[in-house]
Amino acid sequence: MTPSVPALPRLLVSVRDAAEAEIAAASGADLVDAKDPVRGALGALEPGIVRAIVAAVRGRAATSAVAGEPDDAETLARCVAAMAATGVDYVKVAVSPTLRAEPKTLAAAARAAPERLIAVLFAEDALRPEDPARLAAAGFIGAMIDTAGKDGRRLPDLLDAGRRDAFTAACRACGLVSGLAGSLGIEDIPVLAGRGSGEGPGYLGFRGGLCRGGRRTERLDPARVAAAVADLRALARRTAA
């Protein structure tokens, strides 16, 4: 069930409950992502809340849920399995540099969510050129870069264009769908989207930039979600023209 790679990125919107999932799906988000913004960069929601989010989306968009930031092999596989059981289409989980260097650990995590697991790598950590290939070999279907510290710094502040492009190109070369996230605003869409023809990331992920007041712990703002959808669609039309 590997996601197809579009010519331009699709919109991932992180939500914390069924009400926000309804807003995201109704506004045209491509991927509704279940995450607890109060619990850090990749805080996991309770499985029951994730199930309610899946029910609220009702197939109008793909769904994913984050499985936290496990710090050892056993916890990694267990967290992934628990979130996979909620019925989401995809599971996202933080994979530290240490765990990324352990092929058996990566393979065990991928088996806990077959053809559904996406690794999240933090821009603040050491990103290695071989990371995408290792994840693909283990059975992951995608990889995203996010920011660990939600301190106002955005992904473009931490990772220059060359390294972002190298990451998405490496993912593309080994068959992984890629994503970029990290305190992004709507104004970042044209900068990060790439030049079309599938050269950019598969997804751009948003939370705080689409919330009231631009604060990730506030409620999702329907007008901001709609604006992000409109900007991506307008960009697609210009690229196709």
Residue 185 located in a structural domain: yes
Q: Considering only 126-130, 151-155, 200-204, which range has the smallest mean pLDDT?
A: 151-155
Strands (E), 51-191: 62-66, 90-94, 117-122, 142-146, 177-181
pLDDT value for 114:
97
Domain tally, the chain: 1
User: Is the Cβ–Cβ distance between 116 and 80 less than 8 Å?
Assistant: no
Model confidence pLDDT, tens digit, residues 161-216: 999 999 999 999 999 999 999 999 999 999 999 765 567 899 999 999 999 999 99
Report the alpha-carbon distance of residue 181 to residue 43 in Å, rounded.
15
User: Is the Cβ–Cβ distance between 53 and 17 less than 8 Å?
Assistant: yes
Q: Model pTM greater than 0.75?
A: yes
Report the alpha-carbon distance of residue 83 to residue 65 in Å, rounded.
7
Residue 215 Rama label (left phi>0; alpha psi -120 to 50; beta): beta
pLDDT value for 122:
97
pLDDT value for 8:
83
pLDDT value for 153:
86
Instruction: Provide the percentage of residues in the chain whose pLDDT is more than 70.
Output: 95
pLDDT value for 151:
80
Residue 2 located in a structural domain: no
Report the alpha-carbon distance of residue 95 to residue 79 in Å, rounded.
12
Q: What is the CATH number of the domain that holds 229?
A: 3.20.20.70
Q: Which residue has the higher pLDDT, 126 or 63?
A: 63
Task: Average the pLDDT over 35-40 and give the result.
Answer: 94
Band the pLDDT of 1: cuts 50, 70, 90: very low
Q: Active site residue: 35, 100, 216, 224, which one? A: 35
Residue 5 located in a structural domain: no
For this structure, is 150 an active site residue? no
Residue 20 located in a structural domain: yes
Band the pLDDT of 72: cuts 50, 70, 90: very high
Residue 4 located in a structural domain: no
Residue 1 located in a structural domain: no
Residue 148 located in a structural domain: yes
Residue 108 confidence (pLDDT) above 70: yes
Band the pLDDT of 3: cuts 50, 70, 90: low
Band the pLDDT of 6: cuts 50, 70, 90: low
In this structure, which amino acid lies at residue 224? R
Task: Average the pLDDT over 76-83 and give the result.
Answer: 97
Residue 34 located in a structural domain: yes
Residue-number span of the structural domain to which 182 is assigned: 10-240
For this structure, is 104 an active site residue? no
Give the containing element (helix H, strand E) for 7. none
**What value does the mean pLDDT of the chain take?**
94
Q: Active site residue: 92, 100, 134, 172, which one? A: 92
Task: Average the pLDDT over 216-231 and give the result.
Answer: 96
Report the alpha-carbon distance of residue 51 to residue 56 in Å, rounded.
9
Residue 85 confidence (pLDDT) above 70: yes
Residue 2 confidence (pLDDT) above 70: no
The SS3 of residue 185 is coil
